[in-house]
Structure 1
Amino acid sequence: MIKLIDYGVGNIQAFLTLFKRNGILAERASKLEDLNDTSHLILPGVGHFDHAMQCFNNSGLRNRLEHLVLEKKVPFVGICVGMQMLSNGSEEGSLPGLGWIPGNVRSFANTPVKAKLPMPHMGWNSVCPKEDSVLFKYGFESEPQFYFLHSYYFDAKNKDDVSATAHYGIDFDAVVSKGNIHGIQCHPEKSHHWGSQLLKNFAEL
């Protein structure tokens, strides 16, 4: 059973609707007992980095999730701010991230081409997956399109952890993968059949 972590941040219902439409069993998890019988975990997130981290730290779920993800190796994906929370920290805030995939979250406003970039990065953009990316293993053409809404991006310390990139003034890390842990910057729940296929591939890990 896929469990969507409900810690007060992120559109859980949109994911539940998408999974139901595709015949994939998924439930929200807001309490420790909700994490029983978990096969896959999804951490959605929107808004400010520090707010999301504080809500997650206050949820009472972190220790259990770290056990499931880091020790039991349950497949996990963080989405949008949920991806950024996998980092060591963000220029958007002062709280430490989870540090599950080494890297830092940086602002597009601090890039050399910032004057040419409307903020936030919002709308459809091409994503370029690597050939060995497990999340893009089935059902994708050469340049799938995904919906983005963000002003900060994940900058992975080890570029071997990057499984797909996108371009917005600069090439940035759009999807990261390290073992059973994945992060997706775009919104697959808003990305039509491309997003649906990406989540199907995750569900089959």
Structure 2
Amino acid sequence: MKLIAVIDYGMGNLHSVAKAVEHVAEHARVEITRDANTILEADRVILPGVGAIRDCMGELCRLGLNQTVYKAIEQGQPLLGICVGMQILLSHSEENGGVDCLNQLHGKVKRFDEHMKNSQEQQLKVPHMGWNQVQQIQREDEVHPLWHNIEDQSRFYFVHSYYAEMENPADVIGRCDYGIGFDAVLARKNLAAVQFHPEKSHDAGLQLLKNFLQWDGQA
């Protein structure tokens, strides 16, 4: 039986994520845990996150789970970051006056401009909250396995005031537009990360979680 570890550092929609994974995880055990051994023995690891990046990084490091994340990535375990869990994997965030993150994906987290407008010149609210389309980015004319059975421009549920800007375009497999274009889905080696909440994104979100559970971390 496969083990799916949802990292518990007190800062994520843990039970919502776990319930969504359980819904699509046939013959698998989903465990919310902060035990390093359990995480490092899991077949798949999920790093959720909500709230301020300083608090999330502070708790992750206080519990020593930053080192566990490093080891899981080094071991080649497929790992999925969700929302602030995605931002944690990047190099640095502008939030809270500037916070260094785990630097496992090279990019910065920047704040949306309060004066952004849409194509109809209407003022856009910050945070970006609600449903939005995601454009799938192909690599060498192929879509990433995370997108299996998900139509391009499918809608996912977002709640965030900060967005990712990646150094390497090859790390980006999905983009979204909210006044500006931003990097919404990332993947490199055994790492994947999404800015939206798949656990709140109905069929497309559940399919993405299912795809992550079936992904071997090699694409």
TM-score (normalizing by structure 1): 0.93
2:21 to 19, 22, 25: 19
Partner residue of 2:126? 119
Secondary structure of 1:78's aligned partner = strand
The Cα RMSD (Å) is: 1.7
Q: How does 1:1-205 map to 2 (within 5 A)?
A: 1-24=3-26, 25=28, 26-69=30-73, 71-93=74-96, 94-109=98-113, 113=117, 116-131=123-138, 132-136=143-147, 138-205=148-215
Specify the SS of the correspondent of 2:50: coil
Deviating runs (4+, > 3 A) in structure 1?
A: 110-115
Pair 1:111–1:171, CA change in 2 (3 A):
farther
- Return the offset for 1:130: 1.6
- Give the AA of the match of 2:35: K
TM-fit CA distance, 1:95:
2.5
Shift of 1:3: 0.5
Give the CA deviation at 1:113.
4.8
Is the Cα contact below 8 Å between 1:86 and 1:99 reproduced in 2? yes
Residue 34 (structure 1) shift: 2.5
C-alpha separation in 2, matches of 1:109 and 1:91: 12
Distance 1:36 1:158, change over 3 A: closer
d(CA) in 2 for partners of 1:146 and 1:121? 12
What residue identity is the alignment partner of 2:132? N
Give distance in 2, aligned partners of 1:75 and 1:23: 15
Q: % of aligned pairs identical?
A: 37
Structure 2, unaligned runs of 5 or more = none
**Aligned AA (2:65):** L
For the residue of structure 2 that corresponds to 1:109, the secondary structure is coil
- Cα distance in 2 for partners of 1:185, 1:27 equals 22
Corresponding residue SS for 1:46 = coil
Moved more, 33-42 or 105-114: 105-114
TM superposition shift of 1:32: 2.0
Deviations 1:114-164 (A, max 9, x none): 98221110000000112322210x111222110000010010111111000
Q: Work out the CA distance in 2 between the residues paired with 1:76 and 1:111.
A: 35
TM-score (norm 2): 0.87
Q: Deviations over 1:95-123 (max 9, x none)?
A: 21000000000011277659822111000
